[in-house]
Structure 1
C-alpha cells in the first residue's frame, strides 16, 4: 500500500432525506477522514472493546433509551415491535459508543476506523506501543486482532452459450430448476414475491447495468448503498477497482433481484435493497470484519427485514471459537436477529467428512439464529465442497440446503450474458429469497418462528423428523411453500415450538370468561373471544398434542 493512502472510518448519523420508496428518513453512513498507517509504522488492526457506554446512573440510561426510541427510524421500530425477542424495544447495546472513550483511544495516536455500538467497540490501526497504551486505559475491557474475510472464490464458473433469445425454460428462465427445488414459484403464485420487503446484501460490490437489473418497468429498487472499502456512497464498479471487485456481489444479488422474464428471474424480485460493499478483494490484511458489523448495524437502522452475506471470517479464530459467542461478526448477527432481522450466511467451501467431532465452518455461520446455508445440486446431491459443522457448542450447522452447485447466475461482465458458478455463496441468496417470501407471508413471526418453519420444511426433517446427525446436510433442502403453510397456534412465547413454556405463559394470563386481555397477554386469546380462559387452555392442549 502506498504511504499516505486515505481511508475512512464510519459513524452513523440521521439526516433529513427522503427514502427511495418507503417514505422513511434514512440512516446514511457519515465519513470521518483519517490517514491509514503504513508498513513503515509497523501498525496492525485491532478491536478495542469498552467496559460500558459511559452512562453510570440508571435514570440517565433510561432517559437515553427513551430518547433513542423517539428518533429511531419508524420502519426499524415497527419491525422491532413485530419481531424483536430481547426485552423492550431498545437496550444499552443500541446506544452510541462513548465519544469520551473514543477520544482517549485517539489520544494514544491510534487511528479509529469503525465505531460499532452493538459490540461497544471501535476498530483501530495501532502500533505495538499504541496497543499497550490502549490496554492500559481504564475504560477498555480488552483488545483483540481483527479477522479478515475467508476467500470465497466462485467455483466452476462457466459462461452460458447465448442463443440470441429466451431460455428454453419457463417464466424463470435459467433460474427455473434452482427456484422450483425450494418451492419459490409456488410462493410467487400465491402473491409472495418480496413486495414491501427490504433486503440488505453485504458483498464485494454490485454492478447494476445488466439487462436483468434494468428491465423496462421493473428495474432493481436500491434504497441505499455504501462502500466501506472506499468510504463513499457508490457500490458499483469504479475506476481503479480490481477487475474482479464487483463480480461476486453482482452475481449473488442477481439470484434474488434479477427480473428478465423467460430468461432469468430472481427469487424475491419485487423486494427493495440496501447494498453494502464490505470486502476488498485485493487485500490480504484483516480489514473487513469491522466493515461487516458496521454494515449490519446500518441495515438494521434502515429497517431491513432480511440480511444476507456470502462472506465469512476465520483468520485467527479456530473452530473452538465458533461457539455462537466469540467471533465479532457472530455477535453482530446475534444482535441483528434479536432485533427481528432474519440473517442468512454461507457455511463455507472447505468440504466435509462424516465425523461429527470435526467441522469446517466460518464465522458468522455459528450465530445462534442465523440461517446457515449449505449447497446441493439440482438433483439434491450434497456438494463435495459444502462445509460441515457442528458448532463448537454442538449445534447443527449448516441447516438449510439449496442449489449451490452449477447455479445459474447473471454474468457480471456481460450485460446480456449468463453464467454458472458453484459455492455455498450461491446457495445462500436462494435461501435468503425464501426467507424474504416467508417474512412477507408472516410479518409478525419472530426469527425463531421463521427458522422453525423453514427448517422443518427441509427434506431430511420431513423424512425423519430430525436433522442430519453428521452436520453436513442440516434439515435438508428447504421448501418455502411448506414453511408458509406452518401453523404456530399455541406458540405463545414465539420461540417456534408449542411446549410447556407456552402453558406457563397462558397460566400467567388466565383471567376467566368476560375479562378482556391486552398487551402481552393478547396473544393468549387463542379462540379470539376477547378473554383468556379454559377454552383457550383447551385450544393450547390441542396445539401441543398436535405437535407431539
Structure 2
C-alpha cells in the first residue's frame, strides 16, 4: 500500500507540475488604427512596396501583437513566453497544464491550443548529411565557370538565366536554418561579403544578433545559392542579397521551433524579403505527445504551415524542402512543406531519377506534393572553411531551386509571387501528368523565361511553337481571338501519336511519353491551319 501511495503521489506531482508547450491566441488588436495611419511603424518601405506592386492591402495580420496582452501573459504565474506571432496573434508559451488553462479566463484570450493535442479535449527530420570532399533572346553577358556545380544548375537551365544577366541582383532571400558559421570568413562567401550582399540576420533561438554560429547546415544551404568559387562552385543566385535567420535548435526537437520560424518569417516580411527558403521540416518531436501525424499535413493544422501560407499572402515566395524520409515507414512530407502555396522541393540524382530518400506526397488532403524537383543527391556545397564537397538531401535541392526562382523573378520584376510560382510549375517536365514522387517535375527556367518573351512577341507573329527541340511539353502561342485549337502529332511514318484540344489558358501538349526522334504536327483553329516538324529529345 505504501508503494501504491508513493506511485500515486509521483503521478499526481508529474501531472500537476510537468511543463507543457501551448499557443495562446488573442481576440483583438485594439491599437490597429495607429499602425494603419503610420505603416512604416510596422513595415519597411520595401515591404510596403512589395504589397503595393502586387495589389496586396494591409490588414490586421500586419499589425504588431498588443504589448499589454503580452505583458499580462508574462506576468501570469508559472508562464514563460517562448515566441510570439503577429500574423497568428498568438504567443508560444510554456507552463503547467493548470497554469496554462487559467489563461482561458482572460477576456482578450480567444483560445489555447496545447502542443499535446490530447490536452485540447477534442519531427522535424532535418538532414545531418556530412560533407564529403571532392575536389536565344538576349545578348549573353555572363558565363560562369561552374566547375562541379554545373549539373545542379544546368539541370534547371539556370545557366540560361545567368547568361542573360539574371543572377538574382535586386532580390532578397531570407534563409531560415540552424546556423551559418564560416559565412563571415570562408572564401566561398567572399564575393557576397565584398558586395555587401549579407544584409543581416538574427539568432531567434538564443535571442541575440550572432547568426554566424550554430550548425553548419545553413552554411551549406547558403552556398548553393550565394557561394562562389571559380571552377568549383557557383550558386544559383550569386548576386542576390541575403538575410540569415537561425530558427532551428539543433540540441532538441520541440514545437517552439515552428513558432520561431514564424517569427523569422514575419521579420523577413517586415524587412522586405522577396523569397523565404527553408531546409527544415517538422514531423516528430522529442516528446512523442507533441509529434505530428500524417493527418496533420493538410496545410492548415500546423502552426508553421499556417505561417508559411500567410507569408505567401504577403507577396513573398516560400520554398521548402520536401524532407528526407523516403526510405522510412512514414515517407510523407513534413511541415511547412504541406502548405498549399509553398513551393515544395524534392530531390533527384544527377541523372534526374528520384533520390530514394526524398519524401513523397500527396498532402493528407490529396494535393500534389512535392511541387517540383532539383538535384539533392551529391549536391555541391561549401563547408564552413570554404572547402567544396558534396552532400545529400532535399535540404539542398530546395535552395538550389530558390536561387533560380530569384533569378527568374529578377527577369520579370512586375510579376506577382503567384504568377512566378505558376511559371515555375508550368515549365516543369511533368506538368501535364504530375505524381506523388516527382510532383510537377523538374522546372526548365529557360522555358519559363522564353515563354513570357514569346508571348510578348505574339503580336508580331501570328503563331509560335516552342521549345523545339523539346524533351517534354510543346507550347503553342496564337492570337488572343482564338480561344481553342486542335493539335495532332504524327510519327515520321505518318502514324497519329498524340491528339489534344488546347486553349489559350493551357496551350501545350505533352510529348514526354514519346521516344526521341522527329515528329510532325498539325494545328487547326478557325481559319488557322499550321503544320511543322518537331524534334523530341
TM-score range, shorter-chain basis? 0.7 to 0.9
Post-superposition offset of 1:546: 6.1
Deviates more, 1:315-324 or 1:223-232: 315-324
Q: How many aligned positions are there?
A: 434
Q: Which residue of 2 aligns with 1:466?
A: 433
Aligned with residue 397 of structure 1, among 363, 369, 378: 369
**Distance in 2 between residues matched to 1:314 and 1:403, nearest whole Å:** 23
Q: Which residue of 1 aligns with 2:320?
A: 345
Post-superposition offset of 1:83: 2.8
Aligned with residue 101 of structure 2, among 126, 129, 132: 132
**Distance in 2 between residues matched to 1:75 and 1:540, nearest whole Å:** 39
**SS of alignment partner, residue 213 of structure 1:** helix
| 1:146 and 1:287 in contact (8 A); partners too | no
Are residues 1:221 and 2:193 paired? no
- In structure 2, runs of 5+ residues without a counterpart are 1-14, 117-122, 136-142, 285-290, 457-478, 486-501, 508-537
| 2:232 and 2:388 in contact (8 A); partners too | no
**Distance in 2 between residues matched to 1:146 and 1:271, nearest whole Å:** 37
Q: Which residue of 1 aligns with 2:337?
A: 365
The 1:540/1:77 distance shift into structure 2, 3 A limit, reads farther
Q: What aligned pairs does 1:92-107 form with structure 2 within 5 A after superposition?
A: 92-107=60-75
Are residues 1:305 and 2:274 paired? yes
| 2:101 and 2:112 in contact (8 A); partners too | no
**SS of alignment partner, residue 206 of structure 2:** coil
Q: Which residue of 2 aligns with 1:9?
A: none
Q: What aligned pairs does 1:119-518 form with structure 2 within 5 A after superposition?
A: 119-146=88-115, 150-155=124-129, 157-161=131-135, 171-207=145-181, 208=183, 209-215=185-191, 218=194, 221-237=197-213, 245-315=214-284, 316-351=291-326, 360-412=332-384, 414-415=385-386, 417-461=387-431, 465-468=432-435, 471-487=436-452
More strand by share: 2
**Distance in 2 between residues matched to 1:80 and 1:486, nearest whole Å:** 26
Q: Which residue of 1 aligns with 2:46?
A: 75
Partner deviation per Cα, 1:190-213 (whole Å, 9 max, x = no partner)? 110011111100011112121111
Post-superposition offset of 1:388: 0.8
| 2:19 and 2:95 in contact (8 A); partners too | yes
**Distance in 1 between residues matched to 2:115 and 2:42, nearest whole Å:** 32
Q: What aligned pairs does 1:7-22 form with structure 2 within 5 A after superposition?
A: none
The 1:538/1:67 distance shift into structure 2, 3 A limit, reads farther
**Distance in 1 between residues matched to 2:253 and 2:331, nearest whole Å:** 24
The 1:92/1:385 distance shift into structure 2, 3 A limit, reads same
**Distance in 2 between residues matched to 1:458 and 1:537, nearest whole Å:** 24
**SS of alignment partner, residue 487 of structure 1:** helix
**Distance in 2 between residues matched to 1:173 and 1:475, nearest whole Å:** 28
**SS of alignment partner, residue 313 of structure 1:** coil
Partner deviation per Cα, 1:296-353 (whole Å, 9 max, x = no partner)? 0000010001110000112322211221111111111111111111110011111179
The 1:107/1:384 distance shift into structure 2, 3 A limit, reads same
| 2:144 and 2:234 in contact (8 A); partners too | no
**Distance in 1 between residues matched to 2:409 and 2:450, nearest whole Å:** 12
Q: Which residue of 1 aligns with 2:19?
A: 43
**Distance in 2 between residues matched to 1:473 and 1:330, nearest whole Å:** 21
Partner deviation per Cα, 1:471-529 (whole Å, 9 max, x = no partner)? 110011111221122339999xxxxxxxxxxxxxxxxxxxxxxxxxxxxxxxxxxxxxx
**Distance in 2 between residues matched to 1:197 and 1:451, nearest whole Å:** 15
**Distance in 1 between residues matched to 2:281 and 2:427, nearest whole Å:** 26
**SS of alignment partner, residue 430 of structure 2:** helix
| 2:333 and 2:361 in contact (8 A); partners too | yes
Post-superposition offset of 1:68: 2.5
Post-superposition offset of 1:399: 0.9
**SS of alignment partner, residue 175 of structure 1:** helix
**Distance in 1 between residues matched to 2:42 and 2:379, nearest whole Å:** 43
RMSD of equivalent CA atoms: 3.0
| 1:337 and 1:369 in contact (8 A); partners too | yes
The 1:489/1:183 distance shift into structure 2, 3 A limit, reads closer
| 2:325 and 2:331 in contact (8 A); partners too | no
**Distance in 2 between residues matched to 1:485 and 1:106, nearest whole Å:** 55
Post-superposition offset of 1:540: 8.3
**Distance in 2 between residues matched to 1:480 and 1:183, nearest whole Å:** 5
| 2:317 and 2:342 in contact (8 A); partners too | yes
The 1:376/1:490 distance shift into structure 2, 3 A limit, reads closer
**Distance in 1 between residues matched to 2:483 and 2:45, nearest whole Å:** 34
**Distance in 1 between residues matched to 2:81 and 2:239, nearest whole Å:** 39
Post-superposition offset of 1:291: 0.8
**SS of alignment partner, residue 350 of structure 1:** coil
